[in-house]
Amino acid sequence: MQTSSRANRIQPSPTLAVTAKAKQMKAEGIDVVSFGAGEPDFDTPDHIKMAAIKALASGDTKYTPSSGTLQLRKAVCRKLQEENGLEYEPAQIIVSCGAKHSLYNIFQAMLNPGDEVVIPAPYWVSYPDQVLLADGKPVIISAGDSSKFKISPQQLREAMTDNTVAVVINSPSNPTGATYSPDALRELAEVILEHPTAVAISDEIYEKIVYDGREVVSIASVLPEMKERTVVVNGLSKCASMTGWRMGYAASVKSLAAAMDKIQSQSTSNPTSFIQPACIVALEQSRDFVNMMVEAFDQRRRRITELLNDIPGLTMDLPEGAFYAFANASGVMGKTFNGVTVNNSGELSGYLLDHAKVAVVPGNGFGLDTHIRLSYATSMENIEEGLRRIKEALAYNASHSSHTHCAVRRWGGWKNG
Ligand code: PMP
Ligand code: GLU
């Protein structure tokens, strides 16, 4: 049967693929430590679950307006006003089946063939493929470890052309945790405003998962003109640990919201009816819960950073936000371990899964092939055990050399060099 060129031009989501593979291995009885899943390991709080159970029991089981109930969209408006200082009306809010779905709708509603979308790398895996699905052209600009994975205004200026329709901003970032300061966002906003019609698509799904008292603001709020030029994307997957529920939302100007609503009404219709009252509860009452998670993630962040840097060939600075360790593995590329040579992030991840039974996501899906991503939204025991296994799998194989002491020194050299 024919498959479309549209479907053929994209890849399956690598993050979901690694997670599924690790789950499958576990189901087969293999003892895998998984750092794949980009989801909090905490259960959804009971008071949110109870609200959904109550809605289900009371017959909230029918279609709702395609963009979500008015009550839910009003609750989103209150959230954006109180927490982000952004004023919207319910007609500007579209609730969808996850922030991924919101982003999909945005690109479908916004792009014409050949329109360019600037995406800073490392990027979350789905942005370029969603742009391609909408016949757009991803324009990738890269920021590495040395710039703390943050692009400069100058880089953005050089990447934008008359064909630039949007710039994706994801702060805090998946996979790097990089979090732009309000001043840095203002400088990027100034560059976007140099182009009369370009907009920011601001993915703020990790806004509450930041460390060391770092300030997080929306790019929509850094200059008065920016609100009209920003599409804010957020959801409950991360901050209320509701990944399986599928709830995300976008806030924008009314014309784009109407176009998204039209697309949603002809595709998925409304987000699930009986989760919507529970999403209001989650929007209003998950502050203590997220604070508790962030405290736990912070401890794990420190530990995983320490353990990663203790492995010869791997390096990483303390991530600023989100719950991912994006480790630089260039020190092990081209080396042979247990007879397996690893030349890129895919081969390294494959080797770690086969030999150490540890699942990590290769950096190539995020636009940086020298790195691997480990989600530390998992228990401290898993972190200790997983990193022990990685260290062992990447230990210098003494059979390659009769001078063990020399080998140990050589490893130290890679690290420092
Ligand atoms: N944006 C980013 C940066 C993400 O990491 C994710 C991962 N889940 C999403 C959007 C989508 O989240 P969801 O569809 O679960 O709301
Ligand atoms: N966003 C999460 C991740 O990066 C979940 C998987 C996905 O939606 O791609 O792992």
Counting atoms of ligand 2 from 1, which one is nearest the CA of 100? 8
Task: State pLDDT tens for residues 40-82.
Answer: 999 999 999 999 999 999 999 999 999 999 999 999 999 999 9
Q: Is the pLDDT of residue 89 over 60?
A: yes
Q: Which of 2-16, 191-205, 289-303 has the lowest average pLDDT?
A: 2-16
* C-alpha to C-alpha distance for 141 and 120, rounded to whole angstroms: 5
Beta strands 93-96 and 361-362 are unpaired
The pTM of the full predicted model, rounded to 2 decimals, is 0.94
How much is the pLDDT for 390? 98
Burial code (b: 16+ CB inside 10 Å, e: under 16) for 176-200 equals bbbbbeeebbbebbbbbeebeebbb
Q: What domains sit in the chain, N to C, each tagged with a CATH number?
A: 5-43+288-393 (3.90.1150.10), 46-285+408-415 (3.40.640.10)
Using the mean position of ligand 1's atoms as its centre, give its distance from the Cα of residue 246 in Å.
10
How much is the pLDDT for 287? 95
Task: Tell whether ligand 1 has an atom less than 6 A from the beta carbon of residue 38.
Answer: yes
Cis peptide before 172 (omega within 30 of 0): yes
Using the mean position of ligand 2's atoms as its centre, give its distance from the Cα of residue 386 in Å.
20
Task: Tell whether ligand 2 has an atom less than 6 A from the beta carbon of residue 268.
Answer: no
In terms of C-beta density within 10 A (0-12 exposed, 13-18 middle, 19 or more buried), how is residue 391 classed? middle
Task: Tell whether ligand 2 has an atom less than 6 A from the beta carbon of residue 16.
Answer: yes
